[in-house]
Amino acid sequence: MISEQIDFSGRVAIVTGGGTGIGYATAMQLAMLGANVVIAARTVDELEAAAARIAEASGNRCLAVPTDVKKEDACTTLVQRTIDEFGRIDILVNNAGGTRMGPLEHIPTRGWDSIFELNIRSAYVLTREAGKHMIEQKTGAIINISSGAGVNGVKGGAHYSAAKSALQMFTKVTAAEWGRFGIRVNCVAAGAIASERVSEAWKVAGLDEVEMGKSAPLGRTGTPEDMANMIVFFASDASSYISGETISVSGGPNLGGIELD
């Protein structure tokens, strides 16, 4: 039964960027479905408040571990702290990411490297470290969070598009190599997801959220919960024969062609 396949009782999940937006919505859903969750982010007060809300709402443990995922030692510590507290890792959600947009000719080398450190290098380090335990367990689910920029590219985001595209290929290759250990690896590419911080960024950039939503076939922007639904599916036994895939949560494809009434 599908209800049994999305029961996470006894499982342990790490969610990076777990204090807000997509990460918070994902951590909340996993906890409500029975998992003990470790959430990681840089902002301590925000992270601890999120963990308290998740624990209170779910009745399961939610541990806040302040982490800068761009630092390898911090990623290693996050994984070890999870093992020390819970003894296992069943789910890893590499959600931390982001960018600063700008024309290619103005992107400094350090800016390029920083975006790669945040969006792909961190996922590699955490996957490698958590994977050691998943390989020993002979089970695990890893979900990487990409973007439409990684699928189609975006002008003003050469560094971000390249990093997210790399994350998608990293997903595919990891799935191919680690399937023999019972580990599934999938990727969810976010479209226009109106998390609180993203909505604020759109306003600063002079973008109209309603108009942005109209460009999607479904006629609206997405919510963090829309993303969390797909992430939780990939983390669950309901997707037990799916690995190495990238799925877009984007409100549908934008295609050229004639105008339809």
CATH code of the domain in which 92 resides: 3.40.50.720
**What CA–CA distance (Å, rounded) separates 96 from 27?**
13
Kindly state whether residue 66 falls inside one of the protein's structural domains.
Answer: yes
Domain count across the chain = 1
| DSSP code for 121 | I
Above 80 in pLDDT, residue 125?
A: yes
> For residue 1, what pLDDT is reported?
65
Rounded distance, CA 98 to CA 159, Å? 11
The torsion region of residue 247 among left (phi > 0), alpha (psi -120 to 50) and beta comes to beta
Answer yes or no: is 197 within a domain: no
Average pLDDT over residues 152-172: 96
The amino acid at residue 197 is: R
Query: Quick check: is 210 in a domain?
Result: no
Residue 12 parent element (H or E): strand 12-16
Cα Rg for the chain, rounded, in angstroms?
A: 18
- Please check whether residue 44 is in contact with residue 18, taking contact to mean a CB–CB distance below 8 angstroms: no
Residue 229, pLDDT above cutoff 70: yes
Q: How many helices (H) and strands (E) does the chain have?
A: 11, 7
The encoded tokens of residue 256 equal: 């050229």
Q: Are 41 and 20 in contact (CB under 8 A)?
A: yes
> Is position 70 within any domain?
yes
Query: Which long-range contacts (C-beta less than 8 Å, at least 24 apart) are formed by 107-112?
Result: 107/158, 107/159, 111/159, 112/159
Expressed as residue numbers, the domain containing 23 is 2-192+224-248
For the chain, the first-to-last Cα distance in angstroms comes to 41
Confidence grade of residue 2 (pLDDT, cut at 50, 70, 90): low
- Distance between CA atoms of 257 and 98, rounded to whole angstroms? 32
Report the alpha-carbon distance of residue 235 to residue 8 in Å, rounded.
9
- The answer as to whether 144 is a domain residue is yes
CB of 14 closer than 8 Å to CB of 82: yes
Q: So what's the pLDDT on residue 212?
A: 79
pTM recorded for the entire structure: 0.95
**Residue 253 domain-assigned (yes or no):** no
Q: Report if residue 207 sits inside a domain.
A: no
**Catalytic residue ranges:** 160
Q: Check residue 203 and give its pLDDT.
A: 75
Single-letter residue type at 170: F
pLDDT digits (tens, 9 = 90+) for 74-101: 999 999 999 999 999 999 999 999 988 8
Burial of 200 (0-12, 13-18, 19+ CB in 10 A): exposed
Flag whether 109 is in a domain.
Answer: yes
